[in-house]
Amino acid sequence: MELDATDRRLLTVLQRQGKITNAELAEVANLSPSACHRRVQRLEAEGVISGYVALLDARRLGRPTTVFVEITLQSQAEDLLDAFEREVARVPDLLECHLMAGTADYLLKIMAEDTEDFARIHRQFLSRLPGVRQMQSSFALRTVVRTTALAV
């Protein structure tokens, strides 16, 4: 899908202010409210906008500890990858799981209360994932940059 400058402006604003009203968005984008609404609907229908969410503050919800877990599987067999992906999706504290190129097969991002809570997550969930050969966990000391906004 080709995006023009107006589409890009709409997407930039919506990424940073998801609760903006259509009237306010139309004003920022220099469009009529009806034209703005049609453009946003088109961006949604085309899948450029895949959904809307509330971004929560993990620290205020008692989950200030970010842990990145690199997982290497015993093999790259398709059935093992499928089984791993099916089970890892059930880990309740998991925010992200990426199939990787490089030394690890998967990279997980987990939010925990503290190291003891991560030990619980590891014991109850991660250690039971199928086909795991090796697991390396790294604790983030501080988040330097965090955004969900893509450059458009």
Per-residue pLDDT 10s for the chain (152 aa) are 899 999 999 999 999 999 999 999 999 999 999 999 999 999 999 999 999 999 999 999 999 999 999 999 999 999 999 999 999 999 999 999 999 999 999 999 999 999 999 999 999 999 999 999 999 999 999 999 999 999 99
Contact 113, 62 (CB under 8 A): yes
Task: Give the three-state DSSP class for 133.
Answer: strand
Task: Look at the domain 65-139 and name its fold.
Answer: Alpha-Beta Plaits (3.30.70)
Q: Which helix (H) or strand (E) holds 79?
A: helix 78-88
The reported pLDDT for the residue numbered 112 is: 98
Q: Which helix (H) or strand (E) holds 108?
A: strand 106-112
Q: Which helix (H) or strand (E) holds 49?
A: none
Contact 126, 69 (CB under 8 A): yes
Entry pTM: 0.89
The reported pLDDT for the residue numbered 41 is: 98
**CATH code linked to domain 5-45:** 1.10.10.10
Within 10 Å of residue 14's Cβ, how many Cβ atoms? 20
The reported pLDDT for the residue numbered 1 is: 83
> Hey, where are the domains in the chain?
5-45, 65-139
